[in-house]
Amino acid sequence: MSTTVEQAPGLWRTYLQRHDLSVPGRETIQNRVDLGPDAPAVRHKHPGEEIIYVLEGSLEYSIDGQEPRTYTAGEALMVQPETVHSVRNVGDGMASELATYVVEKGKPFLVLVDG
């Protein structure tokens, strides 16, 4: 069963599934993330890979060490482990993504970063 949580004004995360992997000490977590036009760009990182597929709208990813890049519905990207990044909706309406994380089990899958 999925659970949706508003994490910030205009930012909702729906927890879809979480499973242990065949690789010891690793698990996968899958979320749908919905961002309204006014959702804040929150800098954060994950203890493993984040694989993203944009479902709807236009999302700008700011990944440390790279120029910001906009992805639109149907495009995909990956964020490397422990890489600080943020995402913001740069379209006129809602934007959504399917985010799959392959992370170290027992660690928080999302860590907020100041600045």
Q: What is the pLDDT of residue 3?
A: 87
- The full length of the chain comes to 115
pLDDT for residue 115 is more than 70: no
DSSP-H helix ranges across the chain: none
Distance CA 33, CA 11 (A): 7
Please state the domain extents for the chain. 3-112
Q: Class for domain 3-112, per CATH?
A: mainly beta
pLDDT in tens, 12-38: 999 999 999 999 999 999 999 999 999
Distance CA 16, CA 20 (A): 14
Count of Cβ atoms closer than 10 Å to residue 76 Cβ = 11
pTM, 2 dp: 0.93
Would you say 34 and 12 are in contact if contact means Cβ atoms under 8 Å apart? yes
pLDDT > 70: percent of the chain: 98
Q: How far is CA 98 from the centre of its chain?
A: 8
> How far is the CA of 110 from the CAs of 14, 58, 75, 94, in angstroms?
14, 22, 22, 22
Count of Cβ atoms closer than 10 Å to residue 28 Cβ = 19
Categorize the per-residue pLDDT at 1 as very low, low, confident or very high, splitting at 50, 70 and 90. low
